[in-house]
Amino acid sequence: MILSKYKLETNFIIYLFGKIISAGAIILSIPIFIKIFGVEEYGNFVFLYTIFLMVFSGFSGWINQGILRFYTLENNHKRMNKEIEQMSLISFILASVLLSFIFYFYNENNVTLILGVLCLYFSISYSTNLTIQQSLLKSKRFIKGDIIRALTFIIVPVIFYYILPENYNPTNILFFGVLSSYFIGGIYFSKFNFIKIKVKLDKTRWSSIFLKYGIPLAFWVIFSPTTNGVDRIIIEYSLGAVAVAKFSAIFDIVFKLFSSLSVPFNNIVQPLLIKSYNEKNTQEYISTMKKAVIYLTSMFIIFLGSILFFKEFILCNYLGFCSDVNLLSKLIFPLTVSSYFWQLSVLLQKNIEVTNRTVYIATYMLIVVILMTIFGLFYVPKYGLIGSAYISLAGASIYLTFIIYDTKKYFKI
């Protein structure tokens, strides 16, 4: 009874504990990869990996969002899993064509291209299985899979760096780490039951429903700050690969770390809100949302204070950017506040998602991305990385304003 009453808090603690480990592994990988591969090579990988994430998120996001919204409404999970597998195969084929074209455009070698396509295959399979666990509130299993993937991502490239010839392409080593992480994580969930290439592609019950609901959210995911590569593309074009590496390192530690720690809210809050909304339990819905906002804000205050206190240690001692510490320290505050605004927006926009009005979310994101791109093209060449950080803060503020306005005007519960 107590666990049922405090299911938000109970599942949050489980998710938070696991995310501290998995996010910690990812953050640990940054100085390690920079040290053994070099800042410029790491910057090149980050640039290509960001493109991969955008393609992967776009073509898998609509399926995952559909799972979160509708999986618990289907009693025949075996049937629905088959339909999800069919949708995943189609998404993998289309994503592979697009990623191959982009890598070819950037003159990447065939090995990188093949690794990227294989990463897509295993990542889509992994993400759908992970999302099913999330929708069923199986927090322990979700976190175990996430930790396995994160640890594999850091361990495999380090091992291969020391056993392969010195002239081996660092980008390929790092992408093999990505591939291994999704492969091993997928084994944990499916026991080698990955997407079947020879799936019978017939008409399904859920595909059109997933498309209508999930495509706008997939568009949102592509351009959300955690996967969006527009800012890094502008930085790479204006300032070079080294600047991309430095910005990405700080962005991952500040912005993505807080986002990763906030994932427990989204992972557990979204299914709880959907369940409450579907059951027309208004009181539980409002209570869950209020508690989530309070917890998120409290965590942000603690996180901001810690980051500001340790910023010189992070930049100089941890990342090794001692020569640029005065400049790079100015990125900390805007990126941290920006991360909070984005996560608060993600939480509040559940009010729009549960009413299946996801096209509005995509529209708001499109407006913000266009504005941020225009600002970036004008101000990043002039103000450098500081300009990019404050553009991120401006974009987060505008998007949060859209979500609050929409909730007050249209959401009725």
pLDDT of residue 14: 65
- Both 193 and 233 in one domain: the answer is no
Report the C-alpha dihedral over residues 353, 356, 358, 361, rounded to 10 degrees: -50
pLDDT of residue 133: 77
pLDDT of residue 137: 67
Please give the Cα distance from 220 to 62 (Å, whole number): 10
Q: Can you read off the two tokens belonging to residue 202?
A: 């017939």
Total tally of structural domains belonging to the chain = 2
Q: What mean pLDDT do residues 102-111 have?
A: 87
Q: What mean pLDDT do residues 347-373 have?
A: 85
- Both 275 and 156 in one domain: the answer is no
Q: Which of 202, 223, 244 is the last residue of a domain?
A: 223
Q: Which of 157, 190, 223 is the last residue of a domain?
A: 223
From the list 374, 42, 44, 107, the residue with the least C-alpha distance to 236 is 44
Q: What mean pLDDT do residues 271-285 have?
A: 77
Contact 245, 92 (CB under 8 A): no
pLDDT top residue among 355 and 74: 355
- Both 45 and 176 in one domain: the answer is yes
pLDDT over 90 at 401, yes or no: yes
pLDDT top residue among 278 and 108: 108
pLDDT over 90 at 296, yes or no: no
pLDDT top residue among 212 and 404: 404
Angstrom distances, CA of residue 89 to CA of 180, 385, 412:
20, 39, 38
Q: Which of 223, 239, 266 is the last residue of a domain?
A: 223
The range of the structural domain enclosing residue 45 comes to 1-223
Please give the Cα distance from 240 to 246 (Å, whole number): 10
- Both 302 and 191 in one domain: the answer is no
Average pLDDT value for the chain? 81
Lowest mean pLDDT among 9-23, 51-65, 81-95, 109-123: 9-23
Which residue is associated with the tokens 């950080």? 389
Angstrom distances, CA of residue 357 to CA of 153, 271, 344, 353, 391:
36, 17, 18, 6, 27
Q: Can you read off the two tokens belonging to residue 310?
A: 């340790």
Q: Which pLDDT band, with edges at 50, 70 and 90, does 292 fall under?
A: confident
- Computed from CA positions of residues 74, 77, 78, 80, in that sequence, does the dihedral angle turn out positive or negative? positive
- Both 129 and 187 in one domain: the answer is yes
- Both 254 and 278 in one domain: the answer is yes
Q: What mean pLDDT do residues 171-176 have?
A: 90
- Both 191 and 298 in one domain: the answer is no
pLDDT of residue 99: 92
Q: What mean pLDDT do residues 286-312 have?
A: 87
Please give the Cα distance from 51 to 233 (Å, whole number): 9
pLDDT of residue 340: 92
Which stretch, 12-26, 32-46, 115-129, 162-176, has highest mean pLDDT? Answer: 115-129
Contact 361, 399 (CB under 8 A): no
pLDDT top residue among 158 and 21: 158
- Both 145 and 248 in one domain: the answer is no
Q: Which pLDDT band, with edges at 50, 70 and 90, does 3 fall under?
A: very low
pLDDT over 50 at 209, yes or no: yes
pLDDT over 80 at 24, yes or no: no
Which residue is associated with the tokens 């291209």? 113
pLDDT top residue among 342 and 206: 342
Kind plus residue range of the DSSP H or E element containing 344: helix 332-348
Q: Which pLDDT band, with edges at 50, 70 and 90, does 301 fall under?
A: very high
CA atoms within 13 A on the CB side of 196: 11
pTM, entire model: 0.67
How many CB atoms are located within 10 Å of the residue 35 CB?
A: 12
Contact 53, 227 (CB under 8 A): yes
- Both 305 and 354 in one domain: the answer is yes
